[in-house]
């Protein structure tokens, strides 16, 4: 077996970084943009740390040229960004606002001019508020509105963007947004969360068809799933059943219909007391089960579960925020345990073996389908030193471990074609406000000045050489 610390990645491997629109753009009232559910949620007292919001974020809307130049200076070969739905189609209905599309045209042109491959995500959680007022993702009509939006963006940018992703982490949209309420829109209805999951699946299928009808045939259409790596506390039948229940809710609810054209029977049975699934209409599964060109995998930490006789009391150790309401409908008999090992500032255990296991699972689950790691990274309490430099050896070690896991998966036959570090720069971290820093680039939130951390230089060297520098480097 080759030494994974020195073995080269494939020559065409993409070395990217990822962001999302609401977390970085700011300019929430410019160019005809109207509120998204995250504008409303973050301006609702008590919803985010310190009442913080993305009104300015890191002002990428006005600083994108400098940010792209910084990516090029670091040596990145790809950049994954999301389009703000309410910037392009403010009410979620009707014609596009061209000034909104023009921003993304300029961004894409700037990336291409610097030799950076754009990878576009249509939805990273910023549903137009007017669509939420009409019922949001639990309503079927939202899926059709999303398909219209996809066609608008596909027609505008499909001639110069080859890599497209429909949805980012639909699990979070459905179960954190409508189940536990820790994400926008902040609703706490188990039945609504399952309806939302189905309509997100339907939206993915409809949007995939819309994109393929509006773009050059060679473009790639994918989805990014934050599929969970679920491990049992023991090999007892009860704990293995707990794993299956959480695996269905975290993974099967999306990859079942997307990859196989069906929902797991065990999922339907476990949630029958919550919903009858009657909103799954004839033909829906065929629409959802569109052939994909690639699959994005987002990974941060594994989950450890055990069976319990009563609903767990107190905070869940599932890494998904504090709420009295569970994002796991029908799983009150499952407890989440804290996995052992070092943790990031998010409290998430650092375990690269989970990324390897996830990649190899989908190499088996969808043989022949190219895979991308579309998010992976860590939050640390980064601070500048007296000279203004930001050293983050913990993040370098994290990246070295996880990229080594990717390299091992490639060696073992997985078709992994790229890696997108989360995130390019510190930004608005959803309900955590500006407390958690995931960026490879430090942002002074008072001045918005950008300073590449030592991990950014380390990652840039990996991108330029196709090999992993020493974890003690940079």
Contact 263, 243 (CB under 8 A): no
User: Which residue of the set 52, 132, 139, 169 is catalytic?
Assistant: 169
Tell me how far apart the alpha carbons of residues 156 and 102 are, in angstroms, rounded to a whole number: 9
> Would you state the pLDDT for residue 3?
57
Length of the chain: 474
Phi first, then psi: what are they for 375, rounded to 5°?
-150, 135
169 catalytic residue (yes or no)? yes
Which of 465, 340, 355 is closest to 399 using CA atoms? Answer: 355
**Contacts by residues 40-47 (CB-CB < 8 Å, ≥ 24 positions apart):** 40/129, 40/132, 40/184, 40/185, 41/183, 41/184, 41/185, 41/186, 42/184, 42/428, 44/186, 47/186, 47/431
> Would you state the pLDDT for residue 474?
44
Tell me how far apart the alpha carbons of residues 88 and 101 are, in angstroms, rounded to a whole number: 6
CA dihedral 33, 35, 38, 44 (to 10 degrees): 140
3-class SS at 296?
Answer: strand
> Would you state the pLDDT for residue 7?
80
Q: What is the pTM of this model?
A: 0.97
Would you state the structure tokens that stand for residue 400, as one six-digit string? 């070295």
Which of 171, 166, 140 is closest to 151 using CA atoms? Answer: 166
Across the chain, which distance is largest between two alpha carbons, in Å?
Answer: 64
Would you state the structure tokens that stand for residue 118, as one six-digit string? 């754009």
Would you state the structure tokens that stand for residue 328, as one six-digit string? 């796991």
User: Which residue of the set 375, 394, 429, 461 is catalytic?
Assistant: 375
Would you state the structure tokens that stand for residue 32, as one six-digit string? 């005809």
pLDDT in tens, the chain (474 residues): 445 556 899 999 999 999 999 999 999 999 999 999 999 999 999 999 999 999 999 999 999 999 999 999 999 999 999 999 999 999 999 999 999 999 999 999 999 999 999 999 999 999 999 999 999 999 999 999 999 999 999 999 999 999 999 999 999 999 999 999 999 999 999 999 999 999 999 999 999 999 999 999 999 999 999 999 999 999 999 999 999 999 999 999 999 999 999 999 999 999 999 999 999 999 999 999 999 999 999 999 999 999 998 766 667 889 999 999 999 999 999 999 999 999 999 999 999 999 999 999 999 999 999 999 999 999 999 999 999 999 999 999 999 999 999 999 999 999 999 999 999 999 999 999 999 999 999 999 999 999 999 999 999 999 999 999 999 754
Which of 268, 288, 264 is closest to 277 using CA atoms? Answer: 268
Q: Please give the radius of gyration of the chain, using alpha carbons only, rounded to the nearest integer.
A: 21
Tell me how far apart the alpha carbons of residues 386 and 390 are, in angstroms, rounded to a whole number: 10
Q: Which helix (H) or strand (E) covers residue 305, if one does?
A: strand 303-307
Query: For 349, which DSSP code?
Result: B
> Would you state the pLDDT for residue 6?
65
375 catalytic residue (yes or no)? yes
């Amino acid at each position: 077996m080759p030494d994974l610390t020195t073995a080269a990645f494939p020559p065409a491997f993409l070395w990217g970084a990822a962001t999302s629109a609401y977390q970085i753009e700011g300019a929430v009232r410019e160019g005809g943009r109207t509120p998204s559910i995250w504008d409303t949620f973050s301006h609702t007292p008590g919803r985010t740390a310190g009442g913080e919001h993305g009104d300015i974020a890191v002002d990428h809307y006005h600083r994108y040229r400098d940010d792209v130049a910084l990516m090029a200076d670091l040596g990145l070969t790809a950049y994954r960004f999301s389009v703000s739905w309410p910037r392009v189609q403010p009410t979620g209905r009707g014609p596009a606002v061209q000034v909104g599309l023009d921003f993304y045209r300029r961004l894409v042109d700037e990336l291409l001019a610097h030799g950076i491959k754009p990878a576009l995500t249509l939805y990273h959680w910023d549903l137009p508020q007017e669509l939420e007022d009409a019922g949001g993702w639990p309503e079927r009509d939202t899926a059709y509105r999303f398909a219209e939006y996809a066609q608008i963006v596909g027609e505008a940018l499909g001639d110069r963007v080859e890599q497209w992703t429909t949805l980012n982490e639909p699990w979070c949209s459905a179960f954190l947004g409508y189940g536990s309420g820790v994400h926008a829109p902040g609703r706490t209805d188990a039945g609504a969360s399952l309806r939302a999951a189905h309509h997100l699946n339907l939206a993915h299928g409809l949007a995939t068809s819309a994109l393929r009808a509006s773009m050059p045939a060679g473009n790639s259409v994918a989805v990014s799933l934050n599929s969970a790596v679920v491990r049992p506390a023991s090999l007892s039948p009860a704990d293995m059943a707990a794993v299956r229940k959480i695996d269905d809710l975290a993974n099967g609810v999306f990859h079942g219909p997307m990859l196989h054209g069906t929902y797991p029977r065990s999922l339907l049975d476990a949630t029958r007391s919550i919903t009858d699934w009657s909103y799954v209409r004839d033909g829906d599964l065929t629409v959802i089960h569109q052939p994909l060109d690639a699959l994005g995998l987002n990974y941060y930490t594994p989950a450890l579960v055990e069976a319990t006789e009563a609903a767990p009391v107190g905070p869940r150790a599932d890494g998904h925020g504090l709420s009295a309401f569970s994002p796991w409908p029908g799983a009150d008999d499952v407890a989440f345990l804290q996995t052992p090992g070092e943790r990031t500032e998010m409290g998430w255990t650092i375990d690269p073996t989970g990324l390897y296991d996830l990649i190899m699972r989908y190499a088996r689950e969808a043989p022949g389908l190219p895979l991308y790691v579309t998010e992976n990274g860590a939050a640390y309490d980064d601070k500048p030193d007296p000279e203004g430099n930001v050293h983050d050896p913990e993040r370098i070690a994290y990246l070295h471990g996880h990229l080594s896991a990717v390299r091992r998966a490639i060696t073992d036959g997985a078709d992994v074609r790229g890696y997108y570090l989360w995130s390019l720069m510190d930004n608005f971290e959803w309900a955590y406000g500006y407390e958690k820093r995931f960026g490879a680039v430090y942002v002074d939130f008072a001045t918005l000045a950008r300073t590449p951390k030592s991990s950014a230089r380390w990652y840039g060297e990996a991108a330029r050489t196709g090999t992993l520098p020493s974890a003690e480097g940079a």
